Structure 1
Amino acid sequence: MRSEEQRTYAAVIVAGGTGTRAGLPVAKQYAAMGGTTMLGLAVTRMRAASADPIVVVIPEGEEPTARVAIGACDGLLFATGGRTRQESVRAGLELLCELAPRWVLIHDAARPDLPGEVVTRLLGALDDAAGAIPVLPVADSMISTEGDMRGAMLDRESLRRVQTPQAFHFDAILAAHRRWTGGAVAGDDAEVLAQAGGRVALVAGDPRLRKLTWREDFTEANMNRPADAAPAFRMGSGYDVHRLVPGDGIWLCGVHVRHDRALSGHSDADVALHALTDAILGAAAAGDIGQHFPPTDPQWRGAASHRFLTHAVGLARECGYRLANADVTIICERPKIGPHCDAMRARLAELVGVEIGVISVKATTTERLGFTGRGEGIAAQASVLVTRC
């Protein structure tokens, strides 16, 4: 398992649209989309990326409607929005004050199809900046509409399209909102932070994050797009290593193998289950095992690693995917894995709820080379294919 500090973050999703520009009979965040609603999809995607809690900012009195639009979901909080988006964001941030998350993502329900890899890039950028925003290059020529056309052409190479979610250190963005003096309406939350002196990093955005605003955005094809556009298959890979120490046996693929050594780790150190868990999380673009089960958290000390695996399978299902097949390779000199492969395959199939025929477990050595060859540790790698449910 990774030993890096847990990346805990909350999210604020602003959902105060009226649908006026879209010409819809309902507020656009409640429009049907991909088997749910725009708001429901935005929350599902944010939850799949491990945000907890999620604050949904809505107009006054609309919590019952919003709950129906979202469906069953734990860890939700609701805040009443203000007259402007900026006031609504601040209301969401103030609600999180007592929880004081390290980071917060601020997102618009009008951009419901959130790729998990964008979240990963945003959180990574917060190591060196107070805020981070996803951007895309500008393909078209750009002009200024002020005055005549003379000198109005803008250099598109220096321009970027800004998207949400935008990521921030929570204390920095809350303080910036409280100190804002730039007028009644800010362009976005990055502008609020920048005015307060905070550095904002740019990361690559994604076309899937386009904002749905106008009538033509709400065609039948577009409203079915997130579910239909999701790839039919996704792949993931995982790798893990644990040190061998004196002991009385090893857990591998959820099976206890008798041995004169044991694997050292914060949990039960099942190196094969850890690799498989990371592979499934990777296929779902849902982070890694250390993010969900940090070794700094005492509740996971000595924990059975099958809990990590079933959690990853559940997250993949929330993203609309189920396991198609898995291939696990255990790398060690001892113990001999061959006699236990069938039991390991059966245990994995039971844990993830598939037929044993789609589970492969095999072993190899490194011809006595490296740390595994010297008997200092055991490594495992896993590859998975997930298919759309």
Structure 2
Amino acid sequence: MADQTTPFPTASPVHVAVVLVAAGRGARAMGIDDRGPPKQYRRIGGRPVITRTIEAFLAHPAVGSIVAVIHGDDRRLAEEAFAEVQGDHGRLLAPVVGGPTRQVSVRHGLEALFQQKPGLVLIHDAVRPFVTLETVDTAIHALDSCDAIVVGVPVVDTVKRVNAVGAIVDTVPRDGLWRAATPQGFRYDTILTAHRRAASEGRIDLTDDGAVAEWAGYSVHMVPCDEGNVKLTTPDDFANAEARLTAETFLRLPDVRVGIGYDIHSFEPGNAVVLGGVTIPHTHKLNGHSDSDAALHALTDAILGAIGDGDIGAHFSPTDPRWKGAKSEIFLADAVRRVKERGGIVAHCDVTIVAEAPKIGPHRDAMRAEIARICGVTIDRVGVKATTNEKIGSVGRKEGIAAVASATVRLPI
């Protein structure tokens, strides 16, 4: 960190920096048995929350730099999430590790920006991915006439105060009441001075940065933001976010296409087969150049068919030594990439595996999860079914396994 006696760098009014607060553990977002990542790294619409939040700020031309403050245990998660960011990575600085409270974490982020010489700084919760360009713009322009602002929404509901047993003791007048949100915006030197002073005096319990500025004696103004700038905290919040993204995406991508794929591989001596990205113990393995995952091969061809881009063999020749023994998720991920390059999404996948053995049922959900991960969709958008060939033909004689897949793709017109 910069020394507290170091003079402030000359501020540039056109440089707006952003501090993303992402050091929390997010326990309220998890179910009792949920051992998933902290909420800022959970996926909505197939992508990490923090990735979407970063992109929301990168979309604003006035934002010159972004620094995320992360938990020390989340370096790998942050690295993976940042790798998915679409946009100017040059404005995304290396993350810094936060402290035991939100206030300490923000101070670490502010200190990390010292050499960037920002004129203004916006401090934002990483788990508010739906912040709009209009809200960011409002916050920035409000700082033309204020040293400190907090975005929020006026309270319109009746507010009740209750006692320890839930009995109402007072109806609170709602005039002048706001629900505070983020971003909270400041002149950089103003909020850094306030944070440094609070730290030097042992005040590390202030709940947001507006409160830090107020405590330091600065006038803080409320400015409006839209109701959709929500913080993702509970499981219901995440479910609503998924629904919102799905609706927005589907409206944006009206060109609906369906592709079909088929693949079959014979057996050879071995002790396991790979299907749907899952290794299943068996008396044989499937013969082929790669790992011979018939399910993923069929699905790859289905996606390529939907966008009219050849087939798996056209992009990954079975005679190319690079793909000898390769995992088939490489092929499927490449097909998904080709959809994304056209501005589209994979909306749904369905795979039917035709096999006399091994039993597919016990591995069905593991396959669905793998396919969902590779395609960047939620698991409810993946179907995996299994059937036998009623002892007819080569599959019925247990000479191999076949798979049929369909994929629904949505593209812009």
Aligned 1:160-239 pairs, distance under 5 A: 160-180=178-198, 181=201, 183-219=203-239, 221-226=240-245, 228-229=247-248, 232=251
CA contact (8 A) 1:113 1:226 kept: no
Q: For residue 275 of structure 2, what is the aligned residue in structure 1?
A: none
Q: 2:129 aligns with which of 112, 129, 134?
A: 112
Q: Which amino acid in structure 2 is aligned with residue 74 of structure 1?
A: G
In structure 1, what is the equivalent of residue 65 of structure 2?
53
Superimposed CA distance per residue, residues 292-333 of structure 1 (whole angstroms, 9 cap, x where no aligned partner): xxxxxxxxxxxxxxxxxxxxxxxxx99x89xxxxxxxxxxxx
**Whole-Å separation in 2 of the counterparts to 1:81 and 1:184:** 13
Shift of residue 134, structure 1, vs aligned partner: 1.0
Deviation (angstroms), 1:61: 4.2
Pair 1:68-2:88 in alignment: no
Q: Secondary structure at the match of 1:185?
A: coil
SS of the residue aligned with 1:66? Answer: helix
Distance 1:131 1:226, change over 3 A: farther
Indicate the SS of the match to 1:207.
coil
The one-letter amino acid paired with 2:45 is G
SS of structure 1 residue aligned to 2:108: helix
Output the amino acid matched with 1:169: R
Q: Which amino acid aligns with 1:19?
A: G
Check the 8 A contact 2:103/2:205 in 1, yes or no.
Answer: yes
**Is contact 2:102–2:207 with CA below 8 Å preserved after alignment?**
no
Matched, 1:22 2:29: yes
Q: Which has the higher contact order (CA 8 A, sep 6+)?
A: 1
| Residue 7 of structure 1: aligned partner | 14
Structure-2 residue corresponding to 1:144: 161
SS in 1 for 2:54: helix
Query: How many Å apart are 1:140 and its aligned residue?
Result: 2.0
Q: What is the TM-score normalised by the length of structure 1?
A: 0.55
- Aligned partner of 1:44 in structure 2 is 55
Distance 1:36 1:198, change over 3 A: same
2:127 and 2:183 map into 1 onto residues whose CA distance is 11
Moved more, 77-86 or 29-38: 29-38
Task: Name 1:252's counterpart in structure 2.
Answer: none
Deviation at 1:151, TM superposition (A): 5.2
Q: 1:149 to 1:229 in 2, by over 3 A?
A: same
How far apart, in 1, do the equivalents of 2:110 and 2:243 lie? 32
Counterparts in 2 of 1:6 and 1:92: CA distance versus 1, 3 Å: closer
- Taking the TM superposition and a 5 Å limit, the aligned residue runs for 1:303-322 are none
Cα deviation code 1:50-97 (max 9, x no counterpart): 322100110114233212113243322211010011110000000011
Distance 2:218 2:412 in 1: 41
Residue 176 of structure 1 and its aligned partner are, at CA, apart by 0.3
- The alpha carbon displacement at 1:232 in A equals 4.8
- What one-letter code is carried by the residue in structure 2 that aligns with 1:52? G
Q: Given the alignment, which residue of 143, 166, 171 partners 1:126?
A: 143
CA offset digits 1:90-135 (Å, max 9, x no partner): 0000001121200000000111111000111111111111111111
CA distance, structure 1, for counterparts of residue 45 and residue 168 of structure 2: 46
Whether contact under 8 Å (1:126, 1:132) holds in the other structure is yes
Deviation of the 1:146 alpha carbon: 4.3
State the distance in 2 between where 1:135 and 1:94 align: 26
* Native 8 Å contact 2:44 2:238 kept in 1: no
**Long gaps (5+) in structure 2:** 1-11, 253-339, 345-410
TM-score (normalizing by structure 2): 0.52
